[in-house]
Amino acid sequence: MKQTLIVAAVALLAAGSAAAQSSVTIYGRLNVTAEALKVNGVSTKQLRDNASRLGFRGTEDLGGGLKAGFLLEHRFNVDTGTVTGDFYAGDSLVSLSGGFGQIRLGRITSEAYYATADYISLNNHDTGTSADALYAYLGNNKNKIAYNTPDMGGLVFHASVSAGEGVTTRGYDFAAVYDSGPLHLGAGYEKQGNANQYAVRGLYELGAVTLGGYIQRDKNGYIANGGNRTTWRVTGMYTMGASELHAGYGAASKYSNTPNSGGTQWVLGYNYNLSKRTKVYGYYTKLDGKVASTYGDLTSLAVGVRHNF
């Protein structure tokens, strides 16, 4: 009888411990297009993945307003089943949050990018061949310690530093975002070695019409010792029930130390939302890079399906 009571008590304690564990959410996105592509004069027909992912996120309430959290996001190619880059090519981090804000440690996508270029990329969430090819993303996402403030009336500040660990140079990332009704503003700054970039962004929702844009200034962002250049992009979306019409145009000037290194990009798209999670869509994108640029020339006519879960 005594042994039975001990086993029952242990079982009850284990059950209570299990109830206190993190609540875990599994999420993901499958996003695939069939495309007629022309890259630097070579035409092909392809099935292409557009940043598909499988993620796990969780939180645990530690009491007193303090919460622990984690995020693991795996990227893969739906068309081939292969891994995209690192196994957790999305974010992989642990966090502590409370009234002081949030502290995160791990692999963390640039807050400056999220605050500016990503926010206005409306047609396919800045993925695939229609993604913004001109924005200078410095790749400062590994070995990071990041902090963001609490929401202060719609205003949130972000800051992070990445450890070089004797292999790469230390990187820095700063951002600010402000949301008030239909108005959404953002600013970001990144530095990695002798490359840096800063940008500001605005987006405004006016009924069925959404308009956005950013302007960026970078140094050596794409070309080592290439110098300085300016990039800008404007986007628009018009909604009619389940339908969305998208348009975007971006341009990058030449780098100050590298002649013929500019480029332009057009994106025209149509999305039809079958549900809150599933859409079918099509787009046309045209990227024109000058001879000394790293963008190249690309045109794509694509149709696709995206499903979130």
In this structure, what are the phi and psi dihedrals at residue 138, rounded to the nearest 5 degrees?
Answer: -85, -5
Query: Would you state the pLDDT for residue 211?
Result: 98
Query: Would you state the pLDDT for residue 168?
Result: 77
Query: Would you state the pLDDT for residue 77?
Result: 96
User: Domain containing 168 — which CATH number?
Assistant: 2.40.160.10
Q: Which tokens in the block code for residue 23?
A: 């609540």
Q: Which tokens in the block code for residue 75?
A: 């990227």
Residues of the chain where predicted confidence (pLDDT) is lower than 50: 1-19
d(CA 285, CA 32): 16
Query: If DSSP codes are grouped into helix, strand and coil, which group holds residue 41?
Result: coil
d(CA 244, CA 125): 14
- Global confidence as pTM: 0.87
Query: Would you state the pLDDT for residue 181?
Result: 97
Does residue 4 belong to any structural domain of this protein? no
Put residue 256 in one of left, alpha, beta given phi > 0 → left and psi -120 to 50 → alpha.
Answer: alpha
140-199 residue pLDDT tens: 899 999 999 999 999 999 999 999 887 778 999 999 999 999 999 999 999 999 999 999
200-222 residue pLDDT tens: 999 999 999 999 999 999 999 99
Does residue 95 belong to any structural domain of this protein? yes
Query: Would you state the pLDDT for residue 165?
Result: 86
Does residue 132 belong to any structural domain of this protein? yes
Task: Read off the amino acid at residue 109.
Answer: T
CA neighbours closer than 13 Å in the CB half-sphere of residue 172: 9
Does residue 19 belong to any structural domain of this protein? no
Does residue 128 belong to any structural domain of this protein? yes
Total domains in the fold of the chain: 1
d(CA 305, CA 282): 9
Does residue 73 belong to any structural domain of this protein? yes
Query: Would you state the pLDDT for residue 4?
Result: 41
Does residue 102 belong to any structural domain of this protein? yes
Does residue 16 belong to any structural domain of this protein? no
Range of the domain at 244: 25-308
Q: Which tokens in the block code for residue 202?
A: 């605005």
Query: Would you state the pLDDT for residue 1?
Result: 41
